[in-house]
Amino acid sequence: MDFGKLSERVKMMCTSPKTEWPVVEKEQTTLQELYMGYILLLAAIGPVAGFLKMSVFGIHVPLMGTYRPALGAGIGGMVLGYVMTLAGVYLMALIVNMLAPSFGGKKDDMQALKTVAYAYAAAWVAGIAQLVPWVGWLIVLAGSVYSVYLLYLGLPVTMKCPPEKAAGYTAVSIIVAIILSFVISAVVGGITGGAGMMGGRSSSQMNLQGKGGFDKDSPGGKLDDWTKKMEAASKDMEKAQKSGDSAAQSEAMGKMMASAMGSNGKIETLAPERIKTFLPDTLAGRQRSDLSAERSGAAGLQISTARASYTDSDGNTLDAEITDMGLAKGVIALASWAGVEKENVTENGFEKTYKKGKEMVHEQWDTRTGTGEYSIIIANRFSVKISGKAADIDTLKKVANSMNLAGLAALKDEGVTK
């Protein structure tokens, strides 16, 4: 597998799709080469990240602790999800090929497979964001949406449909893709995908000098920087594999994982005893009733979490949770500059995610039960969450802000090895 070639294709598809699709259209390849050199690796990102989230890091269940499915079940689900994803790509390509004449296009089995495989690039890479607490779904969603845009750009080039029919062709194809995703998710035991629309950048924001590209501080520019780091990391990985040196291979894998998570190096998260100190004996007049902390990790990724419960004189309990996300801080930064937001209001409450200054904030409130959740990301690394029964969401916000958030922010570079 040529990691350099794979990384270059992902980079070009994500940063310069209008120039890359004509290259893809002329490229001669086979089904085996496409699967072995591209699809097999990228399609594994989501299932592996899902396995790490569930079976390694675990899911915190309020009042009950951290739940981890049996390792065998986790591995089985990961393998099944991976196999179904590979099959889904091929099935989606068959449908795209079948629909081509209906939208003025030309049927071609291999072009259809290339179109689907390369359009899925953004969604597959974004799958690693499943590891990120509460905002990871935003990044996964953004990747899925960008894949929709890639498909829209690619169909007129590879399948020869008239540009004016590309939107309809894309819409019908995506409806089929959603149905396929639902079926696949149901088979492996959970809905994990999504699709929607992502705000893009206009061509006027692109650098028109040299080889072309996005402005440095734009989302496209940040993504371009990320792909360059991934390319460099993949080249190091390729050299390490050829050398046969296990130590070099381990170091190269760590560098690749760090690059994939948007980090410039390795991060050792805070030790359990250290992160526990940020959960005081009393919080907003409430006494602490229990306290726990743990650090877990796999494949170079670490996450440290501390939890405590605080009870007032009326017996009402608030839960506090602090998470050091380690390497995932790079993905949080990605979500921040991408400007992802969400707001949903119903008669029974609301849920919203937004950016406050340089920090990502999540609020959720249920008017029926008088319970809610307030979370904030500190320094793109630490997640602080307060949840439980309260007078209103502002109460939870005040409790969170009464904690030593500045002290946490001061530790943003602790354990970081460039």
| pLDDT digits 0-9 by tens, 1-25 | 567 788 888 888 888 889 999 999 9
Given a cut of 70, whether residue 301 has pLDDT beyond it is no
pLDDT at residue 207, as a whole number: 35
pLDDT at residue 354, as a whole number: 83
Given a cut of 90, whether residue 125 has pLDDT beyond it is no
Distance, in Å, from the CA atom of 81 to the CA atom of 258, rounded to the nearest integer, reads 24
If you average pLDDT over residues 129-137, what whole number do you get?
71
Given a cut of 80, whether residue 316 has pLDDT beyond it is yes
pLDDT at residue 248, as a whole number: 72
pLDDT at residue 371, as a whole number: 93
| Distance from chain centroid for Cα 102 | 35
For residues 262 and 223, is the Cβ–Cβ distance under 8 A?
A: no
**pLDDT tens-digit map of 212-270:** 444 555 555 555 565 566 556 656 766 776 777 777 766 665 565 555 555 555 678 89
Given a cut of 80, whether residue 138 has pLDDT beyond it is no
Beta strands in 236-279 (DSSP E): 266-267
**pLDDT tens-digit map of 142-189:** 888 888 889 999 999 999 999 989 888 888 887 766 665 554 455 444
β-pair type (301-311, 286-298): antiparallel
If you average pLDDT over residues 312-341, what whole number do you get?
69
Give the bridge partners for 324, in sequence order.
304, 382
pLDDT at residue 200, as a whole number: 33
pLDDT at residue 350, as a whole number: 92
Q: How confident is the model at residue 356 (pLDDT cuts 50, 70, 90)?
A: confident
Four-residue CA torsion sign, 379, 380, 383, 384: positive
If you average pLDDT over residues 290-303, what whole number do you get?
74
Most confident residue range from 237-251, 299-313, 404-418: 404-418
Distance, in Å, from the CA atom of 355 to the CA atom of 338, rounded to the nearest integer, reads 10
Distance, in Å, from the CA atom of 113 to the CA atom of 264, rounded to the nearest integer, reads 34
Q: Alpha carbon of 88 to those of 96, 171, 177: distances in Å? A: 12, 18, 9
Given a cut of 90, whether residue 275 has pLDDT beyond it is yes
Given a cut of 60, whether residue 57 has pLDDT beyond it is yes
pLDDT at residue 403, as a whole number: 95
Most confident residue range from 65-69, 122-126, 162-166, 198-202: 162-166
If you average pLDDT over residues 110-125, what whole number do you get?
91
pLDDT at residue 259, as a whole number: 56
DSSP SS3 for 127? helix
Share of residues in the chain with pLDDT > 90 (%): 27
If you average pLDDT over residues 392-413, what whole number do you get?
93
Q: How confident is the model at residue 77 (pLDDT cuts 50, 70, 90)?
A: confident
Given a cut of 70, whether residue 410 has pLDDT beyond it is yes
pLDDT at residue 277, as a whole number: 95
Domain ranges of the chain: 3-196, 220-260, 272-417
Given a cut of 90, whether residue 397 has pLDDT beyond it is yes
Most confident residue range from 210-219, 336-345, 394-403, 409-418: 394-403
